[in-house]
Structure 1
Amino acid sequence: MAQIVHKYTLLILLSVLIMHSLFTIVYSKNFDEKMPCKRFSLYYHDILFNGTNLANATSATAVNRTQLGDHKHGMLVVFDDPMTKQNNLLTPPVARAQGFYFYDSKDEWNAWFAFTLIFNSTEHKGTLNIMGADLMGEETRDLSVVGGTGDFFMTRGIATLLTDGQPNAFYFRVNMDIKLYECY
Protein backbone atom coordinates (compact mmCIF):
# COMPACT_ATOMS: atom_id res chain seq x y z
CA MET A 1 0.00 0.00 0.00
CA ALA A 2 2.85 2.42 0.87
CA GLN A 3 4.45 1.83 -2.56
CA ILE A 4 1.20 2.79 -4.33
CA VAL A 5 0.92 5.98 -2.28
CA HIS A 6 4.55 6.87 -3.12
CA LYS A 7 3.94 6.20 -6.85
CA TYR A 8 0.80 8.37 -6.89
CA THR A 9 2.56 11.11 -4.93
CA LEU A 10 5.45 11.05 -7.40
CA LEU A 11 3.01 11.08 -10.34
CA ILE A 12 1.08 14.06 -8.89
CA LEU A 13 4.33 15.93 -8.18
CA LEU A 14 5.59 15.37 -11.73
CA SER A 15 2.21 16.48 -13.15
CA VAL A 16 2.31 19.69 -11.12
CA LEU A 17 5.89 20.43 -12.25
CA ILE A 18 5.00 19.83 -15.91
CA MET A 19 1.88 22.02 -15.66
CA HIS A 20 3.89 24.78 -13.96
CA SER A 21 6.54 24.63 -16.70
CA LEU A 22 3.91 24.81 -19.44
CA PHE A 23 2.12 27.68 -17.69
CA THR A 24 5.41 29.59 -17.36
CA ILE A 25 6.24 29.11 -21.05
CA VAL A 26 2.77 30.06 -22.30
CA TYR A 27 2.10 33.04 -20.02
CA SER A 28 5.57 34.53 -19.47
CA LYS A 29 6.23 38.02 -20.78
CA ASN A 30 9.19 38.41 -23.10
CA PHE A 31 11.42 41.18 -21.77
CA ASP A 32 13.39 43.08 -24.41
CA GLU A 33 15.33 46.00 -23.00
CA LYS A 34 15.69 47.52 -26.48
CA MET A 35 11.96 47.52 -27.30
CA PRO A 36 9.59 49.22 -24.87
CA CYS A 37 6.08 47.78 -24.67
CA LYS A 38 4.67 51.35 -24.44
CA ARG A 39 6.23 54.65 -25.37
CA PHE A 40 4.87 58.19 -25.36
CA SER A 41 6.05 61.74 -24.93
CA LEU A 42 4.54 64.38 -22.64
CA TYR A 43 5.38 67.92 -21.56
CA TYR A 44 5.62 68.81 -17.89
CA HIS A 45 4.80 72.47 -17.06
CA ASP A 46 5.84 73.87 -13.67
CA ILE A 47 4.75 77.37 -12.60
CA LEU A 48 6.28 78.23 -9.22
CA PHE A 49 4.27 80.53 -6.96
CA ASN A 50 6.11 83.88 -6.79
CA GLY A 51 3.78 85.79 -4.47
CA THR A 52 1.74 87.41 -7.26
CA ASN A 53 0.66 84.55 -9.56
CA LEU A 54 -1.84 82.76 -7.30
CA ALA A 55 -4.32 82.08 -10.13
CA ASN A 56 -1.73 80.41 -12.39
CA ALA A 57 0.76 78.79 -10.01
CA THR A 58 0.97 74.99 -10.01
CA SER A 59 3.77 74.60 -7.47
CA ALA A 60 4.94 76.23 -4.27
CA THR A 61 7.98 76.25 -2.05
CA ALA A 62 7.26 74.17 1.05
CA VAL A 63 10.71 74.61 2.62
CA ASN A 64 12.99 77.53 1.80
CA ARG A 65 16.57 77.10 0.66
CA THR A 66 19.44 76.90 3.09
CA GLN A 67 22.46 79.20 3.08
CA LEU A 68 24.72 76.40 1.75
CA GLY A 69 25.93 77.20 -1.75
CA ASP A 70 24.28 79.20 -4.52
CA HIS A 71 22.06 76.46 -5.97
CA LYS A 72 18.90 76.60 -3.79
CA HIS A 73 20.25 73.71 -1.65
CA GLY A 74 17.51 72.37 0.62
CA MET A 75 14.56 74.06 -1.12
CA LEU A 76 11.54 71.73 -1.31
CA VAL A 77 8.81 72.36 -3.90
CA VAL A 78 5.43 70.61 -3.91
CA PHE A 79 3.58 70.56 -7.24
CA ASP A 80 0.36 69.68 -9.06
CA ASP A 81 1.47 70.34 -12.64
CA PRO A 82 -0.33 69.80 -15.96
CA MET A 83 1.06 67.29 -18.46
CA THR A 84 0.31 68.00 -22.13
CA LYS A 85 1.02 66.27 -25.45
CA GLN A 86 2.38 69.50 -26.96
CA ASN A 87 4.81 72.00 -25.52
CA ASN A 88 2.13 74.70 -25.38
CA LEU A 89 0.90 75.23 -21.81
CA LEU A 90 -2.56 76.15 -23.11
CA THR A 91 -3.20 72.76 -24.76
CA PRO A 92 -5.55 70.46 -22.81
CA PRO A 93 -3.76 68.40 -20.15
CA VAL A 94 -3.76 64.61 -20.54
CA ALA A 95 -2.46 63.99 -17.00
CA ARG A 96 -1.42 65.73 -13.79
CA ALA A 97 2.00 65.37 -12.18
CA GLN A 98 1.64 65.47 -8.40
CA GLY A 99 4.59 65.22 -6.04
CA PHE A 100 7.68 67.11 -4.97
CA TYR A 101 11.25 67.93 -5.83
CA PHE A 102 14.05 69.29 -3.72
CA TYR A 103 17.43 70.78 -4.57
CA ASP A 104 20.00 68.44 -3.11
CA SER A 105 23.38 69.84 -4.14
CA LYS A 106 25.14 72.89 -2.82
CA ASP A 107 27.69 72.90 -5.67
CA GLU A 108 25.54 72.20 -8.77
CA TRP A 109 21.96 72.58 -10.04
CA ASN A 110 20.58 69.17 -9.09
CA ALA A 111 17.20 68.11 -7.79
CA TRP A 112 15.53 64.88 -6.71
CA PHE A 113 11.98 64.19 -7.94
CA ALA A 114 9.26 61.87 -6.65
CA PHE A 115 5.83 62.16 -8.27
CA THR A 116 2.83 60.39 -9.71
CA LEU A 117 1.40 61.01 -13.16
CA ILE A 118 -2.37 60.75 -12.84
CA PHE A 119 -4.15 59.93 -16.11
CA ASN A 120 -7.89 60.31 -16.54
CA SER A 121 -8.52 60.63 -20.27
CA THR A 122 -10.02 58.59 -23.06
CA GLU A 123 -6.53 57.39 -24.01
CA HIS A 124 -5.21 56.32 -20.58
CA LYS A 125 -6.55 55.77 -17.08
CA GLY A 126 -4.39 55.07 -14.06
CA THR A 127 -1.12 56.28 -12.58
CA LEU A 128 2.61 56.10 -13.17
CA ASN A 129 5.05 56.55 -10.28
CA ILE A 130 8.35 58.23 -11.18
CA MET A 131 11.37 59.10 -9.05
CA GLY A 132 15.04 59.87 -9.33
CA ALA A 133 17.82 62.42 -9.60
CA ASP A 134 17.50 65.30 -12.05
CA LEU A 135 21.09 66.23 -12.87
CA MET A 136 20.18 69.54 -14.49
CA GLY A 137 23.63 70.09 -15.98
CA GLU A 138 23.11 67.12 -18.30
CA GLU A 139 21.25 67.56 -21.59
CA THR A 140 19.04 64.54 -20.89
CA ARG A 141 18.33 62.87 -17.56
CA ASP A 142 16.71 59.51 -16.79
CA LEU A 143 14.28 58.99 -13.93
CA SER A 144 12.93 55.57 -12.97
CA VAL A 145 9.33 54.56 -13.58
CA VAL A 146 8.80 52.36 -10.52
CA GLY A 147 5.19 51.25 -10.81
CA GLY A 148 1.67 52.20 -11.65
CA THR A 149 -2.02 51.39 -11.59
CA GLY A 150 -4.85 51.04 -14.10
CA ASP A 151 -3.53 50.93 -17.68
CA PHE A 152 -0.02 51.00 -16.18
CA PHE A 153 -0.48 48.25 -13.58
CA MET A 154 2.91 47.33 -12.03
CA THR A 155 4.82 48.79 -14.97
CA ARG A 156 8.48 49.74 -14.92
CA GLY A 157 10.62 51.80 -17.24
CA ILE A 158 12.47 55.05 -17.80
CA ALA A 159 11.35 58.67 -18.16
CA THR A 160 13.98 60.64 -20.06
CA LEU A 161 13.83 64.37 -19.31
CA LEU A 162 14.91 67.15 -21.66
CA THR A 163 14.47 70.78 -20.60
CA ASP A 164 12.33 72.32 -23.34
CA GLY A 165 12.02 75.87 -22.04
CA GLN A 166 12.70 78.10 -19.07
CA PRO A 167 11.73 81.66 -19.95
CA ASN A 168 12.04 82.89 -16.33
CA ALA A 169 12.85 81.76 -12.79
CA PHE A 170 9.23 80.79 -12.06
CA TYR A 171 8.32 78.64 -15.10
CA PHE A 172 10.01 75.70 -16.74
CA ARG A 173 8.89 73.07 -19.23
CA VAL A 174 10.37 69.59 -19.58
CA ASN A 175 9.80 67.08 -22.35
CA MET A 176 9.38 63.58 -20.86
CA ASP A 177 10.00 60.63 -23.20
CA ILE A 178 8.44 57.74 -21.27
CA LYS A 179 9.52 54.21 -22.22
CA LEU A 180 7.84 51.34 -20.36
CA TYR A 181 9.55 47.94 -20.49
CA GLU A 182 7.31 45.87 -18.24
CA CYS A 183 3.64 46.13 -19.13
CA TYR A 184 0.92 43.85 -17.81
Structure 2
Amino acid sequence: MRHGPIPGAHGRVRPLTLLGDPVLHAPSAEVTDFGPGLARLVEDLFASMYAARGVGLAANQVGEALRVFVFDCPDDEEVRHLGHVVNPRLVAADGIVLRGPEGCLSLPGLEAPTERFDRAVVEGFTASGEPVEVEGTGFFARCLQHEYDHLEGRVYPDRLTGRRRRKVLRQAAKASWGSGRTVSG
Protein backbone atom coordinates (compact mmCIF):
# COMPACT_ATOMS: atom_id res chain seq x y z
CA MET A 1 0.00 0.00 0.00
CA ARG A 2 1.31 3.42 -0.97
CA HIS A 3 1.27 6.26 1.54
CA GLY A 4 1.32 9.93 0.53
CA PRO A 5 1.24 11.50 -2.89
CA ILE A 6 2.97 9.92 -5.87
CA PRO A 7 6.16 11.88 -6.61
CA GLY A 8 5.80 13.92 -9.78
CA ALA A 9 2.01 13.56 -9.94
CA HIS A 10 1.64 17.33 -9.74
CA GLY A 11 4.84 18.13 -11.63
CA ARG A 12 5.34 19.57 -15.08
CA VAL A 13 7.38 17.59 -17.60
CA ARG A 14 10.24 19.83 -18.67
CA PRO A 15 12.43 19.51 -21.75
CA LEU A 16 15.75 17.79 -21.07
CA THR A 17 19.07 19.51 -21.67
CA LEU A 18 21.37 17.59 -23.99
CA LEU A 19 25.10 16.99 -24.11
CA GLY A 20 26.85 20.19 -25.13
CA ASP A 21 24.47 22.51 -23.26
CA PRO A 22 26.67 24.71 -21.00
CA VAL A 23 24.46 24.06 -17.93
CA LEU A 24 25.59 20.41 -17.99
CA HIS A 25 29.26 21.32 -17.98
CA ALA A 26 29.49 23.70 -15.01
CA PRO A 27 29.05 23.04 -11.28
CA SER A 28 25.54 23.76 -10.02
CA ALA A 29 24.80 26.31 -7.30
CA GLU A 30 23.86 25.46 -3.72
CA VAL A 31 20.14 25.74 -2.95
CA THR A 32 19.50 28.57 -0.48
CA ASP A 33 15.70 28.87 -0.70
CA PHE A 34 13.84 25.84 0.66
CA GLY A 35 10.46 27.32 -0.23
CA PRO A 36 7.62 26.35 -2.56
CA GLY A 37 9.76 26.88 -5.67
CA LEU A 38 12.10 24.09 -4.58
CA ALA A 39 9.18 21.74 -3.89
CA ARG A 40 7.84 22.50 -7.41
CA LEU A 41 11.28 21.81 -8.92
CA VAL A 42 11.45 18.41 -7.18
CA GLU A 43 7.95 17.55 -8.47
CA ASP A 44 8.96 18.64 -11.99
CA LEU A 45 12.13 16.55 -11.78
CA PHE A 46 10.14 13.43 -10.86
CA ALA A 47 7.57 14.10 -13.62
CA SER A 48 10.34 14.67 -16.19
CA MET A 49 12.32 11.60 -15.07
CA TYR A 50 9.26 9.34 -15.29
CA ALA A 51 8.25 10.78 -18.68
CA ALA A 52 11.74 10.00 -20.03
CA ARG A 53 11.77 6.55 -18.36
CA GLY A 54 14.88 7.31 -16.32
CA VAL A 55 16.00 6.18 -12.88
CA GLY A 56 17.53 9.51 -11.81
CA LEU A 57 17.54 13.14 -12.89
CA ALA A 58 19.56 16.16 -11.81
CA ALA A 59 18.18 19.71 -11.90
CA ASN A 60 20.68 20.88 -14.52
CA GLN A 61 19.24 18.25 -16.86
CA VAL A 62 16.10 20.42 -17.04
CA GLY A 63 18.11 23.64 -17.28
CA GLU A 64 18.14 24.54 -13.56
CA ALA A 65 21.72 25.00 -12.31
CA LEU A 66 20.84 24.01 -8.73
CA ARG A 67 22.20 21.18 -6.57
CA VAL A 68 19.14 18.88 -6.56
CA PHE A 69 18.55 15.39 -7.90
CA VAL A 70 15.78 12.80 -7.74
CA PHE A 71 15.88 9.03 -8.08
CA ASP A 72 13.62 6.01 -8.39
CA CYS A 73 16.20 3.31 -8.87
CA PRO A 74 16.61 -0.37 -7.98
CA ASP A 75 19.74 -1.82 -6.47
CA ASP A 76 21.21 -5.15 -7.60
CA GLU A 77 18.72 -7.03 -5.37
CA GLU A 78 15.81 -5.23 -7.09
CA VAL A 79 15.04 -3.17 -3.94
CA ARG A 80 13.48 0.12 -5.05
CA HIS A 81 15.03 3.37 -3.79
CA LEU A 82 12.88 6.48 -4.19
CA GLY A 83 13.74 10.00 -3.10
CA HIS A 84 15.54 13.25 -3.69
CA VAL A 85 18.56 15.07 -2.29
CA VAL A 86 19.15 18.82 -2.10
CA ASN A 87 22.72 20.11 -1.79
CA PRO A 88 24.18 16.59 -1.86
CA ARG A 89 27.71 15.77 -0.79
CA LEU A 90 29.24 12.50 -1.89
CA VAL A 91 30.73 11.40 1.44
CA ALA A 92 31.77 7.90 0.38
CA ALA A 93 32.37 6.07 -2.88
CA ASP A 94 34.20 2.86 -2.21
CA GLY A 95 34.23 -0.89 -2.52
CA ILE A 96 34.93 -2.65 -5.79
CA VAL A 97 35.20 -0.65 -9.00
CA LEU A 98 32.86 -2.17 -11.58
CA ARG A 99 32.63 -1.35 -15.27
CA GLY A 100 29.01 -1.48 -16.30
CA PRO A 101 26.74 -0.06 -18.97
CA GLU A 102 25.75 3.52 -18.28
CA GLY A 103 23.38 5.79 -20.11
CA CYS A 104 22.04 9.27 -19.54
CA LEU A 105 18.82 11.10 -20.36
CA SER A 106 21.00 13.96 -21.67
CA LEU A 107 22.57 11.55 -24.20
CA PRO A 108 19.41 9.73 -25.32
CA GLY A 109 19.89 6.29 -26.81
CA LEU A 110 23.61 6.05 -26.01
CA GLU A 111 25.47 4.06 -23.40
CA ALA A 112 29.03 3.03 -22.67
CA PRO A 113 30.83 0.81 -20.17
CA THR A 114 31.73 3.18 -17.31
CA GLU A 115 33.66 2.48 -14.13
CA ARG A 116 31.96 3.26 -10.81
CA PHE A 117 32.38 2.15 -7.21
CA ASP A 118 29.82 -0.41 -6.03
CA ARG A 119 28.98 1.58 -2.87
CA ALA A 120 28.14 5.25 -2.45
CA VAL A 121 26.85 7.46 0.37
CA VAL A 122 25.32 10.88 -0.24
CA GLU A 123 24.35 13.36 2.48
CA GLY A 124 22.17 16.40 1.98
CA PHE A 125 18.69 17.69 2.69
CA THR A 126 15.10 17.12 1.67
CA ALA A 127 13.13 19.87 -0.07
CA SER A 128 11.76 20.82 3.36
CA GLY A 129 15.27 21.20 4.79
CA GLU A 130 15.48 17.96 6.78
CA PRO A 131 18.90 16.23 6.80
CA VAL A 132 19.03 13.04 4.75
CA GLU A 133 21.63 10.35 4.12
CA VAL A 134 21.27 7.93 1.22
CA GLU A 135 23.43 4.83 0.87
CA GLY A 136 23.45 2.72 -2.24
CA THR A 137 25.12 -0.42 -3.49
CA GLY A 138 25.41 -1.92 -6.95
CA PHE A 139 23.28 -0.25 -9.62
CA PHE A 140 21.85 2.24 -7.12
CA ALA A 141 25.40 3.30 -6.12
CA ARG A 142 26.07 3.90 -9.83
CA CYS A 143 22.93 6.06 -10.01
CA LEU A 144 23.94 8.16 -6.98
CA GLN A 145 27.44 8.75 -8.37
CA HIS A 146 26.03 9.57 -11.83
CA GLU A 147 23.56 12.17 -10.52
CA TYR A 148 26.15 13.68 -8.18
CA ASP A 149 28.54 14.03 -11.14
CA HIS A 150 25.87 16.03 -13.01
CA LEU A 151 25.79 18.59 -10.21
CA GLU A 152 29.58 18.87 -10.40
CA GLY A 153 29.33 19.66 -14.13
CA ARG A 154 30.33 16.19 -15.36
CA VAL A 155 28.60 13.71 -17.66
CA TYR A 156 29.51 10.04 -17.85
CA PRO A 157 31.66 10.40 -21.01
CA ASP A 158 33.98 12.55 -18.85
CA ARG A 159 34.83 9.33 -17.00
CA LEU A 160 35.76 7.51 -20.20
CA THR A 161 39.14 7.51 -21.89
CA GLY A 162 40.60 6.59 -25.23
CA ARG A 163 38.56 4.62 -27.71
CA ARG A 164 35.45 4.36 -25.46
CA ARG A 165 35.31 8.14 -25.02
CA ARG A 166 35.88 8.87 -28.70
CA LYS A 167 33.21 6.35 -29.70
CA VAL A 168 30.44 7.77 -27.47
CA LEU A 169 31.26 11.37 -28.43
CA ARG A 170 31.23 10.41 -32.13
CA GLN A 171 27.84 8.70 -31.63
CA ALA A 172 26.52 11.81 -29.84
CA ALA A 173 27.63 14.07 -32.68
CA LYS A 174 25.86 11.81 -35.22
CA ALA A 175 22.66 11.41 -33.16
CA SER A 176 19.54 13.19 -34.37
CA TRP A 177 19.52 15.26 -31.17
CA GLY A 178 23.23 16.06 -31.61
CA SER A 179 22.51 18.02 -34.81
CA GLY A 180 25.91 16.96 -36.13
CA ARG A 181 27.64 19.47 -33.87
CA THR A 182 30.96 18.63 -32.30
CA VAL A 183 30.60 17.88 -28.61
CA SER A 184 33.45 17.83 -26.15
CA GLY A 185 31.36 16.22 -23.40
Which is strand-richer, 1 or 2? Answer: 1
Q: TM-score interval w.r.t. the shorter chain?
A: under 0.3
Which is helix-richer, 1 or 2? 2
Q: Which has the higher contact order (CA 8 A, sep 6+)?
A: 2
Answer with 1 or 2: which has the greater Rg. Answer: 1
What's the TM-score once normalised by structure 2's chain length?
A: 0.26
